[in-house]
């Protein structure tokens, strides 16, 4: 007998084909839709890309950055004060300066740095931040900012946006660590500086033990001002404690024996000495001189404050200091306000030579 077979009618074959096509459509329709959506999202919008929204990683509002910089300096200062008053410094050496002096590190430096760095980084994640102390990448402490701006800043500063890639933030979580370990509290500051294309435009200097904060923004405003008068003929010159003897010799040869040399700690403190600061423990000076290599986080904030008030901070030979690239300034510095800065440099030609002798 012939084997039995199954014979489909033409109608059955048509139904079977339609079912197959339906299954194939179901499988491929999702894939094609996804590819189409990807293509559409990849195309630029008509008329070009939309401008970045305010506060995005691509744009930075300098007024907001000033506000969070003030907050960061204060928050860091709280850590500095807490550690010092609790006498839990855990002091150790972290190396030596070019002059052979021991550089010290304390818990105050590290805890202040942790607080300041993470606050600034969380508020403006697209901005380059340079700090004196190492930041542990495994440390993911969350420090938030509610984006509130103090009324004083709102009244004096207008919003101003710049590209995030043009901004570098320099933070000094504890300036005058040597004096901090010696309990010379008046010299200690925390500082934040904002540079745009290498030029210092925002400076914040905070004194943790008196809660005094000076801030200023170039072409914006400030909460501090210059003094009413300065002595150009026999200026009071503020210098590092370790440099006082050498600078004294040069200064008195130039300005006479009545020239006063003020030895002090901390670059932030020395800049404040040039300003009208209502602080009982703040000395006053007419000129600030540093004759050796110095790190940029030590001087950037003070440079910005002086620039905002019409003053100057340059290398010893009068060159502007750029706050990009390396973290050090090789040429020493001279700072003044409401004085003939160029004439000061010309009167002190031996400072560059003194700088090389001290290096």
Catalytic residue among 177, 189, 213, 315: 177
Catalytic residue among 109, 172, 175, 298: 109
Told to judge if 109 belongs to the known catalytic residues of this protein, a careful annotator would answer yes
Could you tell me whether strands 167-175 and 128-131 are parallel, antiparallel, or unpaired per DSSP bridges?
A: parallel
Q: How many other CB atoms sit within 10 Å of the CB of residue 162?
A: 16
* Span between the terminal Cα atoms of the chain, in Å: 114
Told to judge if 327 belongs to the known catalytic residues of this protein, a careful annotator would answer no
Q: CA-CA distance, 352 to 314, in Å (whole number)?
A: 13
Three-state SS across the chain? CCCCCCCCCHHHHHHHHHHHHHHHHHHHHHHHHHHHHHHHHHCCCCCCCCCCCCCCCCEEEHHHHHHHHHHHHHHHHHHHHHHHHHCCCCCEEEEECCCCCEEEECHHHHHHHHHHHHHHHHHCCCCEEEECCCCCCCCCCCCCCCCCCCHHHHHHCCCCEEEHHHEEEEEEEEECHHHHHCCCHHHCEEEEEEEECCEEEEEEEEECCCCEEEEEECCCEECCCECCCCCCCCCEEEEEHHHHHHHHHHHHHHHCCCCEEEEECCHHHHHHCCECCCCCCCCCCCEEEECCCEEHHHHHHHHHHHHHCCCEEECCCCCECCCCCCCEECCCEEEECCCCHHHHHHHCCCHHHHHHHHC
Q: CA-CA distance, 306 to 115, in Å (whole number)?
A: 26
- CA angle at residue 278 from 334 to 76, to 5 degrees? 75
Q: In sequence order, what are the beta bridge partners of 206?
A: 190, 213
Would you please indicate which residues are annotated as catalytic (active-site) residues? 109, 177
């Amino acid at each position: 007998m012939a084997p039995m077979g199954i014979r489909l009618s033409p109608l059955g074959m048509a139904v079977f084909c339609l079912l197959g096509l339906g299954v194939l459509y179901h499988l491929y329709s999702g894939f094609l839709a996804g590819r189409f959506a990807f293509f559409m999202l990849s195309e630029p919008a008509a008329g070009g890309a939309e401008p970045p929204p305010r506060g995005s990683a691509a744009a930075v509002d300098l007024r907001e950055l000033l506000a969070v910089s003030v907050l960061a300096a204060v928050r860091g200062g709280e850590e500095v004060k807490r550690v010092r008053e609790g006498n839990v410094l855990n002091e150790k050496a972290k190396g030596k300066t070019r002059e052979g002096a021991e550089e010290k590190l304390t818990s105050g430096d590290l805890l202040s740095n942790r607080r300041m760095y993470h606050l600034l980084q969380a508020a403006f994640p697209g901005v380059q931040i340079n700090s004196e102390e190492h930041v542990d990448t495994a440390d993911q402490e969350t420090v938030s900012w509610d984006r509130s701006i103090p009324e004083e800043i709102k009244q004096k500063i207008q919003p101003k946006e710049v590209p995030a890639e043009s901004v570098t933030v320099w933070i000094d979580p504890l300036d005058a660590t040597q004096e901090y370990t010696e309990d010379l509290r008046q010299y200690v500051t925390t500082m934040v500086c904002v540079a745009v294309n290498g030029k210092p435009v925002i400076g914040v200097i905070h004194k943790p033990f008196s809660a005094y904060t000076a801030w200023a923004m170039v072409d914006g405003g400030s909460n501090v001002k210059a003094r009413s008068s300065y002595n150009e003929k026999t200026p009071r010159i503020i210098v590092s404690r370790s440099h006082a003897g050498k600078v004294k010799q040069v200064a008195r040869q130039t300005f006479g024996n009545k020239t006063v040399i003020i030895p002090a700690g901390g670059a932030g403190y020395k800049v404040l000495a040039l300003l009208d600061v209502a602080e009982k423990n703040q000395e006053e000076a007419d000129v600030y001189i540093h004759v050796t290599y110095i790190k940029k986080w030590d001087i950037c904030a003070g440079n910005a404050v002086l620039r905002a008030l019409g003053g100057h901070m340059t290398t010893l030979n009068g060159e502007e200091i750029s706050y990009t690239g390396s973290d050090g300034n090789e040429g020493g510095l001279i700072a003044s306000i409401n004085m003939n800065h160029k004439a000061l440099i010309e009167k002190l030609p031996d400072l560059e030579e003194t700088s090389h002798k001290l290096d």
